[in-house]
Structure 1
Amino acid sequence: MTISNLPSRASTLVIGGGPAGLVSLKYAVEYGEKWAEGEEPVLVEMESEIGGTFRWRGYENAELVSSKQLTCFSDFRYPLSAPDHPSLPNFVSYLHSYAEYFGITAYIHTSTKLISLNKVSLPKDDYKHMAVLQRLDSGKQPIGGPISILAKRVIITTGLHVTPNIPLIPGLNSELIPPSAPEWIHSSSYKSRSQLSNKEVLILGAGETGMDLAYEFIMSTSKRVWLGVRTGFLSFPKVLNNFSILGYTFDGNLPIDGLITNLFEDVYVHRWIAQSHLRWFISDFVIRRVMWVLTGTKAGCNQWCGELPPERQGRAYVFLNKSAKAIRFINQPYYKLSNIHKKIAHYIDPPLPDDIKERKIDIVPFPQKFDENGRAVFGKPPQHRSKENAWKTEVCKPDLVVLCTGYKQDWDWLGQGYPKGPEECEIRGVTSEKDLSVGFVGFVRPGVGAIPPIAEMQIQLFLLLSQNRIPIPKSPETYHLLHSPTSRIQYGVDHSTYMSTLAKDIGSSPGLFELWWEYGWFVLFVYCFGAAFPTFYRLTGPYRSSKAQGIVETELWETIRRRGLLGNIFMGVIPMTFYAIINISAYLIEKTWSFSAPLFGLPPPPDNIMDYYSNDKKGNADVKVKVN
């Protein structure tokens, strides 16, 4: 559709053409109110093609770190024969197919940039959002003049990964740069190995992009690679395999984001257990010790350096780094598994060509500056990483510095009266009671999981709220990761807890008896043993889908079957039994407390058990802590 076909009014305006924008548009078309002619929903995307970050900030050899089973939308799935972790171009093709399958391409306007969004007051009219748009040519230059469109509802899906976050480093990109300063780029500008030929490279940042690029540099003709890490990272492979246990090689090929079960971990969880995050702490405690048995280290899966502080080693605190191909090269100087332990269990690194397997990635602290000769100047690494010494013994003088330092959000285009980002949206980070016609979709990131299915649940919630079809949720927020207060990123969530919370808000979280009565034992079993797949929340509720049962009985059942008998015992039956005991105990304590309180003059049991605890470091016992 060309810019001349834009309506002057839109029942729903979606800003951004990534996965969150596409699923928002699909739901607005399928489940929004019927619109008058010339007031249809509109999606605007400033790039020339849909796909968002997956299309425009991808790079050679990049693939999804979340599995296809968890990443794709509830009613449009990858075939079973597709790889578990498709390439980024393949996922962009999936998004195009999604738009075409549901017939929403006619509502999409690419090469159309939003300039500003402001509220207007029109008598007896609920179309109160005025968007100013600009058509762009292939070089992103303006074509014609600005165009205005009036919208009833606005859904902002511009994404977490658009504006590069570029820290200022003296001697590299600050005001005074010496002639010998190394070249630098942000990771958003990296596209292929050809950019690395015969270079000594310093990568700053150990997130999934940093680890991906470190591996790419090892596999290229680059001369040397350093990896600058601030506090640390938590490394796990995105697929569980390659373990040797008592001489037997486990090659289960299990995506780790589909291993957490629903029953008593996400559903039928007593509110005290949810508020205390007990499940996270217990699972982290167990997993760290299992990792020690299997790989010899508790810092991560076969991770021997670059670790986080011991008190923050767990998925309760950080995003799991599932790009693990580079970890063997980082481990080189630090791997110390004894021969006795190796006979019991160890991780098997995949085979590599002889000219590659002895290469290494030197891990260093984040540089304080670059001196007049272009050499990196480091401070000491944190105490828990004191064994790292490459920064002490050798000079780091890179030809190229790659800033894998993430992205930030810019809300300057939002006028007065709008929340300046999802952090100002008190309703699940999606919308605000002050104005239910404005929604932010796709702005939380799961520690282990995927943003697209979360965006699908968010748009479901937003539409119901903006149509006044459900009450505003009031239950406590127990899904936020426990970020440090000083952390730059505060939008991390536990995937399964957040999905389950949204499902309860929406009214699509199925009861066990309800599932058995309508669908039978098989669907009930898959739901209990499965992860928080979005299709589960289309079995019942306002967005019930006729496709859901077939997907559950085939694809989602396959994720459980692949674990095998032992896998389902250790990853399903044992955790379910353990958490069932904990939740039932909490329920019995609450009931006993409620019954006994009037008899003994005690206060009633609290709704929020965390009100009874304080972690005030000064020891003020009356300080109460809100855990979000």
Structure 2
Amino acid sequence: MTDEAHLQTAIPKKASTLIIGGGPAGLVSLKYVVEYGERWLEGEEPFLVEMESEIGGTFRWRGYENAELVSSKQLTCFSDFRYPLSAPDHPSLPNFVRYLNNYAEHFGITPYIHTSTKVISLNYVSDPKDGYKHVALLQRLDSYKENLGEPIEILAKRVIITTGLHVTPNIPLIPGLNTEPKSPNAPEWIHSSSYKTRSQLENKEILVLGAGETGMDLAYESIMSNLNSNKEIWMGIRNGFLSFPKVLNNFKVLGVTFDGNLPIDGLITNLFEDTYVHKWISQSNLRWFISDFIIKRVLWILTGTMAGCNQWVGELPKEKQGRAFVFLNKSSKAMKFLNKPYYNLSKIHKYFFHYIDDYQSSNQKQKQIEIVPFPKKINKDGIVIFNELPLHRKKEINWKSKICKPDLIILCTGYKQNFNWLGKGYPKGPEECEIRGICSEKDLSIGFIGFVRPGVGAIPPISEMQTQLFQLLSQNKISIPTSPETYHLLHSPTSRIQYGVDHSTYMSTLSRDIGSSPGLFELWREYGWFVLFVYCFGAAFPTFYRLIGPFKSEKAKGIVETELWETIQRRGLLGNIFMGVIPMAFYAVINITAYIIEKTWLFTAPLFGLPPPPDNIMQSKPHIKVKAT
């Protein structure tokens, strides 16, 4: 539907549910509201508003040339609308935007979408009637984002906020660059949200700031844009990062090259890691620490370093290297250019095991990215003065002998969220929502969907599970969940980002809250051994949580038996032994041991006058308290 067509479509004055934001989280929320929400009367149908002229969210409006998904299609797409098996594992961003548009058309939710419509404010109704608790002020926009007509006031029974994590650019202040007084020779600078094509990078010396996936992408794009020049490329980071390729391949083991093309986000199995996990094991995060310990040793064998996968620079402190603490950086294309001066694998080690850095041309071999600390300031000559390195990265000394005077600085420093448009009494973001970061028991008619980020995984399927839980809670179909929150990543208390979760643990927690977590006997009885096997060896794919429960889908069985089975087949016999059977057996022993200890304690406690075994062996992560409405 064109922008002009949307502008001619009248917005209802009432809505059973108002959804704000047209990215994946908004679309899947709208789909579930239309399919599973309470029936509405004529003139109060649910609808979605999106400020931009097209749907797609950050994938549409913050994308750039050559960008593609870093999470696999198997994990990223929604439970009942899948990519074909022939599609690449990591589609381009334009391809994924087409997928989202096809999703909206397939489920018939396009008529409920109003683009070029901005929410100015959202407030509680002072004297609510007929269940309409919220009043939103909307503004229609033209193609230049100028106001079109007078604001429109609408009433809503429920509101779902899906405006996303990538909204307002986070721009750190660097003296001499973007503060006053500005250096007279300060370089040009942009935030990564303004980057679109390689033409912006050609024939420039570039300093990329930030070591997230966008920072890695743009550092690589900077190199490739200047292959035939002598321009320098730098990458500045504060503390460190954890690098991992999004696809597991390019290992040479005893002379044999492993090229399995296995997306890493689909390698964690369900049985005894996500399901049938004893509460003590879950609360202690023991699974994360054990898997981190093992993975680091395997990485040393295969690549010679434990800091990341073939990562020789920019490492985190040793105590923070692991899935329990950070978001894995799955854009590894730039690592070969960062590693170059620091790569230190012995010939003996390389003879048996090593990671293959694929240099496609002789031009690439001549290039490198100089890793540097985060800037302290830009001096009057336009030269970057850097902060000192943290102690754990003291070996990175190349930059000290060079002058960094870039033509362009790209701030790949992330985004922040702005909820100033929310009126008095509303939670100011998901951190004030004590129910799984989705909503508050103070008011179950307002929900935040798509605001947690997985360490390894994808936000769209998490959003689908979140909106399922919100549907049930807001319709009073289930009680408020009270089980401990054992899914939070262990961020530093001073970290700017506090919304990280372990993907599989969070998905498993939501499935239990919803009542869609498959039991092994239940799966076997209804679907047979094959579906049961795929579930045990599969990752936390959203389709598994549509096999049973209130959102059970007839499509789920076929998807499990084809696409999800294919992901297990691709691991091969040895892969399934080392990535499936051995971890399952190991975690089975740990969980069964905890179960035996608990039952023994429970049985003997009365005999010896001891207290019963505790339900919680640790406190769950505290939430900011929500102000009373």
Q: TM-score normalized by structure 2?
A: 0.97
TM-superposed CA distance for 1:4, in Å, is: 4.6
Which structure 2 residues correspond to residues 90-489 of structure 1 after superposition, within 5 A?
Answer: 90-221=95-226, 223-489=231-497
Query: What is the CA distance between 1:627 and its match in structure 2?
Result: 7.9
Mean Cα displacement is larger for which, 325-334 or 114-123? Answer: 114-123
**1:206 is aligned with what amino acid?**
A
Q: Is the 8 A contact 2:23 2:57 kept in 1?
A: yes
CA distance in 2, matches of 1:356, 1:140: 42
CA contact 1:427–1:473 (8 Å) conserved in 2: yes
Match of 1:609 in 2: 617
Is the CA contact 2:7–2:116 (under 8 Å) kept in the aligned structure 1? no
Structure 1 unaligned runs (5+)? 612-624
Contact 1:244–1:347 at 8 Å: present in 2 too? yes
Amino acid at match of 1:205: G
2:607 and 2:180 mapped to 1: Cα distance?
72
Counterparts of 2:75 and 2:265, CA distance in 1: 7
Amino acid across the alignment from 1:404: C
Give the alignment partner of residue 538 of structure 2, picking from 530, 534, 544: 530
| Matched length | 615
Hey, what does 1:89 align to over in structure 2?
Answer: 94
**Could you tell me how far apart the structure 2 residues matched to 1:284 and 1:168 are?**
35
Equivalent in the alignment of 1:548: 556
For each residue in 1:319-344, what CA deviation from the matched residue of structure 2 results, as whole angstroms up to 9, or x when unmatched?
A: 00000000000000000100000011
RMSD after superposition:
1.0
Aligned partner of 2:627 in structure 1 is none
Residue 389 of structure 1 and its aligned partner are, at CA, apart by 1.1
Instruction: Measure how far apart 1:626 and its partner are.
Output: 5.3
Cα separation, 2, equivalents of 1:319 and 1:124: 45
Does structure 2 conserve the Cα–Cα contact (< 8 Å) formed by 1:439 and 1:462? yes
Return the alpha-carbon distance in structure 2 between the equivalents of residues 599 and 183 of structure 1: 75
The answer (yes or no) to whether the contact 1:378–1:391 under 8 Å persists in 2 is no
Task: Tell me the distance in 2 between the aligned counterparts of 1:228 and 1:124.
Answer: 55
AA of the residue aligned to 2:249: N
Equivalent position of 2:59 in the other structure: 54
Q: Which amino acid aligns with 1:329?
A: F
Paired AA for residue 65 in structure 1 = V
The answer for the alignment partner of 1:22 in structure 2 is: 27
TM-aligned CA distance change 1:626 to 1:164, over 3 Å:
closer
Task: Please give the alpha-carbon distance, in whole angstroms, between the structure 2 residues aligned to 1:626 and 1:600.
Answer: 33
CA contact (8 A) 1:160 1:409 kept: yes
The answer to whether residue 598 in structure 2 is matched with residue 565 in structure 1 is: no
- The corresponding residue for 2:501 is 493
Listed one character per residue, the Cα deviations across residues 276-304 of structure 1 (whole Å, up to 9, x for unaligned) are: 00000000000000000000000000000
User: Residue type of the partner of 2:93?
Assistant: L
> What SS is found at the alignment partner of 2:120?
strand
| Deviation at residue 601 of structure 1 after TM alignment | 1.5
Name the counterpart of 1:620: none
Q: Is the 8 A contact 2:7 2:140 kept in 1?
A: no
Identity, % of aligned positions: 78
Q: Which runs of 4+ in 1 moved over 6 A?
A: none
Equivalents in 2 of 1:528, 1:381: separation in Å?
A: 45
Once the two structures are overlaid, the 10-residue window that deviates more, 399-408 or 115-124, is 115-124
What's the offset of the Cα at 1:599? 1.1
Give 3-state SS (helix, strand or coil) of 1:588's partner: helix
- Aligned AA (2:163): T
Q: Distance in 2 between matches of 1:19 and 1:465?
A: 21
Equivalent-residue separation in structure 1 for 2:206 and 2:128 (angstroms): 61
Measured after TM superposition, the shift of residue 436 of structure 1 is 0.1
Runs of at least 5 residues in structure 2 that lack an aligned partner in the other structure: 1-5, 624-629
Q: Assess if the C-alpha contact under 8 Å between 1:243 and 1:249 holds in 2.
A: yes
Matched residue of 2:151: which SS?
A: strand
Cα distance in structure 2, aligned partners of 1:553 and 1:169: 54
| 1:470 aligned partner, one-letter code | I
Residue pair 1:19, 1:52 contacting (<8 A) in 2 also: yes
Is the 8 Å Cα contact of residues 185 and 381 (structure 2) preserved in structure 1?
yes
Distance 1:81 1:447 in 2: 27
SS, match of residue 127 in structure 2:
coil
Supply the distance in 1 between the matched residues of 2:54 and 2:232 (Cα, whole angstroms).
36
Do residues 74 (structure 1) and 79 (structure 2) align?
yes
1:563-610: CA deviation from partner (whole Å, max 9, x where unpaired): 000000000000000000000000000001111111112111111112
CA–CA separation in structure 1 for the residues paired with 2:621 and 2:395: 37
Q: 2:488, 2:621 within 8 Å by CA — same for their partners in 1? A: no
Counterpart amino acid of residue 467 in structure 2: I
Relative to structure 1, the CA distance from residue 366 to residue 435 in structure 2 (aligned partners, 3 Å threshold; closer, same or farther) is same
Change in Cα spacing, 1:626 to 1:62, as seen in structure 2 (3 Å) is closer
